Structure 1
Amino acid sequence: MSEKVFFCLGENMSSLSGKVQTVLGPIQPEQLGYTLTHEHLTMTFNCCYSPPPPPQKALSEEPILMKNLFWLKQNPYSNRENLLLNQEVDTIKAELLHFKEVGGGSIVENTTTGISRDVRTLKVMAEETGVNIISGAGFYVDATHSSETRSMSVEQLTKILVNEVLEGADGTDIKCGIIGEIGCSWPLTESERKILQATAEAQAQLGCPVNIHPGRSSDAPFQILRILQESGADISKTVMSHLDRTIFDEKKLLEFAELGSYLEYDLFGTEMLNYQFNDAVDMPSDNERIKTEIVCTSGKQHLLPFIVLSDAIPAMRMQQYGVKLNHFRTKA
């Protein structure tokens, strides 16, 4: 399935069938251009704040400066300002314009309920930059769920997801064009399981793509796809994000690839040695990520559906959209 077809809504969507729904309205898939399929333009990521050791507390409270970038690169989730993209609207607009200058056309904004999705601001950004922005429907990880969300039935959750695509999100008429990223923890919680089931049911109604944030275990992506499939999802229109921090064994990655979802390597440009959420993980470099794609796709009778991008959070990872695009186009 081509990227252009992937982002289209399903045949059961009448006037929207075969179109891509942006925050400014539906467009033809040919209008997408180069597309980054997992980014965050407005969000708060306080749910993932990681307190630093006492000797480093001062660094955690400083603004983002050249003098502390050395520390931020290895401890990006220990500085509160670094987790607030909603304070960086003008900077994000500049990033979008740079992305457009180097050939970019569209961005999928995967911020969902729980981490401060802001479709109003996304609409303004799209209007002022000319970049197509596709907003994500749904819910992030359990730690961000409200008590109301946790108490909802699968049917109620499904209705919310469908309405965010058909009617509008966050009390507006600005519509989402993808479900996700749907946040999952490890182990998966009951609330997250219900949301996965609702995601599958909503996708079956809408025919739209789905993006999943898996828990931090190599078994998590397998469990998630199983739940989605059992609930009626279209796995061929499902993206499993963050695999470059989730599955490190080549054999297991190939086994997962056979299940039919898109494989997303979305930490390009970070180039950090460690993974702050798991000290046992040695993060791959960009070159290693590219080599993994080449190894996994070579010798296959079909091209495994890999997606590569930068998932540009937290705030200190600016100027990555165009840089990442050029880097990968050069190396690949």
Structure 2
Amino acid sequence: MPSLKGKVQTVLGLIEPSQLGCTMTHEHLTMDFSCCYYPPTSGQEALSSQPIEMKNLFWLKQNPYSNRENLLLCQETDAVKEELLHYKAAGGGTIVENTTTGIKRDMKTLKQLSKETGIHIIAGAGFYVDATHPAETRAMSVEQLAEVIVNEVTNGADGTSIKCGVIGEIGCSWPLTESENKVLQATAHAQSQLGCPVIIHPGRHSDSPFQIIRIMQEAGADISKTVMSHMDRTIFDEKKLLEFAKLGCYLEYDLFGTEFIFYHMSPDIDMPSDNERILRVRMLIDEGYEDKIVVAHDIHTKNRLKKYGGHGYSHILENIVPKMLVRGISQNKIDKLLVENPKQWLTFK
């Protein structure tokens, strides 16, 4: 697509890559995550339907997917707008909004938020995990799925003329389902036509990112323009992580601010702390991968907004960057993570 080459596509139109500034590569500004509701443990059932209050904030932090209201980020447009202004004041320039088909993407709200805050917002095309695929999606061929994705980037998504600027987050489970496999292949086909960035949500198993890259490579994807999300909850073994890093995609540590004891979606996983994330990022930099790391918070529930006592979209800029400096990551390296690497990734080829 010659008209997109060398540009970045936001919900307000094309911009120069140099305009992006500090970029969070994986966030949600409006979505419905009810597909991932987990009933509370025995004796706590009443908490699932209670409003968010100060007295249950700690419980919510530990059980974010067990309160139905907490999963409806789409109800918080005013609070998100306030958060984006705070993010801008802290030095933020761009948000990559990873809400895809299946979790209530809202292109009109994204455009409104961008207009009202001055933050560049880049919307995601494509499909989330199999559990959100309707029968219509499951019935599509790889070619038909690719056509849908290309159309969302070139013409507009969800019946609007507002265009997506990235494919993803493309949802994958473990084990990968047939429908997700087709979507991955369609993503590769669409990317090869568009020269656009791609971002993947891997399954919760350390082999999942390897499987995904293999499928995409075989389907013709450009791995150098692909981000593998959620590395902080996916590959813990250092040797295996470095083996994966050699494949050439971007490694995204995008759960900054998420610290809880019991991870309902995969109880075997010990969710790392922010300090542990920083040390892992420093290790990857020391191993020579500073050009292939991006960071974010993946805010997708209400309790992570400042309105509800959460850390908000500016947590990395306000709290993580100072700690990175203390831990020996230079400002130059931090600028790569926040500015240069997202710029390289988001620019159409």
| Range into which the TM-score falls when normalised by the shorter chain | over 0.9
Contact 2:30 2:73 survives alignment (8 Å)? yes
Instruction: Give how far 1:329 is off.
Output: 1.6
1:181 match: secondary structure: strand
From 182, 201, 207, the counterpart of 1:194: 182
- CA distance, structure 2, for counterparts of residue 303 and residue 62 of structure 1: 44
How does the TM-score come out when normalised to structure 2? 0.90
1:328 deviation in Å?
2.1
Judge conservation of contact 1:33–1:106 (CA < 8 Å) in 2: yes
Partner of 2:295: 308
1:278 partner SS: coil
Letter of the aligned partner of 2:298 in structure 1?
A: D
CA distance in 2 between counterparts of 1:230 and 1:88 reads 41
Equivalent position of 1:170 in the other structure:
158
1:304 CA displacement: 5.2
Q: Does 1:317 align with 2:309?
A: no
Structure 1 contact 262–306 (Cα < 8 Å) conserved: yes
After superposition, give the CA deviation of every residue in 1:221-273 in whole Å (9 maximum; x if it has no partner): 00000000000000000000011111111111110000001011111012222
Are 2:132 and 1:144 equivalent residues in the alignment?
A: yes
Letter in 1 for 2:149: L
Q: Does residue 1:329 correspond to 2:321, yes or no?
A: yes
Distance 1:191 1:299, change over 3 A: closer
Runs of 4+ aligned residues of structure 1 deviating over 2 Å after TM superposition are none
Equivalent in the alignment of 2:109 = 121
Q: What TM-score results when the alignment is normalised by the length of structure 1?
A: 0.94
The 1-side partners of 2:92 and 2:75 are apart by: 24
What is the CA–CA distance in structure 1 between the aligned matches of 2:229 and 2:119, rounded to whole Å? 23
Q: Answer yes or no: is the 8 Å Cα contact 1:74–1:276 preserved in 2.
A: no
Correspondence 1:275 to 2:285: no
The AA in structure 2 aligned to 1:137 is A
Cα deviation, 1:91-124, whole Å, max 9, x if unaligned, reads 1101111101111011000000000000011001
Q: Is the 8 A contact 1:296 1:304 kept in 2?
A: no
Report the RMSD for the aligned CA atoms in angstroms.
1.0
Letter of the structure 2 residue corresponding to residue 125 of structure 1 = L
CA distance in 1, matches of 2:201, 2:230: 7
Which structure exhibits the higher relative contact order, with contacts defined as CA atoms closer than 8 Å and separated by 6 or more residues?
2
> Residues 1-332 of structure 1: matches in 2 within 5 Å?
13-300=1-288, 303=290, 305-319=292-306, 320-332=312-324
Once structures 1 and 2 are overlaid, which stretch shifts more, 45-54 or 316-325?
Answer: 316-325
The alpha-carbon deviation at position 306 of structure 1 amounts to 1.3
Contact 1:157 1:198 in 2 (8 A): yes
Aligned length: 319
1:303, distance to aligned residue in structure 2 (A) = 3.0
Name the SS for the 1:199 alignment partner: helix
Query: For each residue in 1:29-70, what CA deviation from the matched residue of structure 2 results, as whole angstroms up to 9, or x when unmatched?
Result: 111010111000010001100011231011111111111011
Q: CA deviation at 1:331?
A: 1.6
Amino acid at match of 1:322: S
**2:124 alignment partner AA:** G
1:23 maps to amino acid: V
State the alpha-carbon separation in 2 of the partners of residues 115 and 25 from structure 1.
Answer: 23
> Which deviations, in whole Å up to 9, do the C-alpha atoms of 1:132-175 show, x marking residues without a partner?
00000000000000101000001100100000000000001000
Residue type at the aligned position of 2:276: E
User: How far apart in 1 are the matches of 2:33 and 2:290?
Assistant: 35
Q: What letter is aligned with 1:313?
A: H
The offset of 1:287, in angstroms, is 0.8
Which residue identity is paired with 1:276? Answer: H
Q: Secondary structure at the match of 1:73?
A: helix
Secondary structure of the residue aligned to 1:16 is coil
- Closer/same/farther in 2, CA of residues 206 and 84 from structure 1, 3 Å limit: same
**Matched position secondary structure for 1:55:** coil
State whether residues 38 and 108 of structure 1, in contact with CA within 8 Å, keep that contact through their aligned partners in structure 2. Answer: yes
Cα deviation, 1:165-216, whole Å, max 9, x if unaligned, reads: 0000000100000000000011101100000000000000000000000011
| C-alpha contact 1:178 1:208 (8 A) present in aligned 2 | yes
Quick one: which amino acid aligns to residue 273 of structure 1? Answer: I
Contact 2:32 2:72 in 1 (8 A): yes
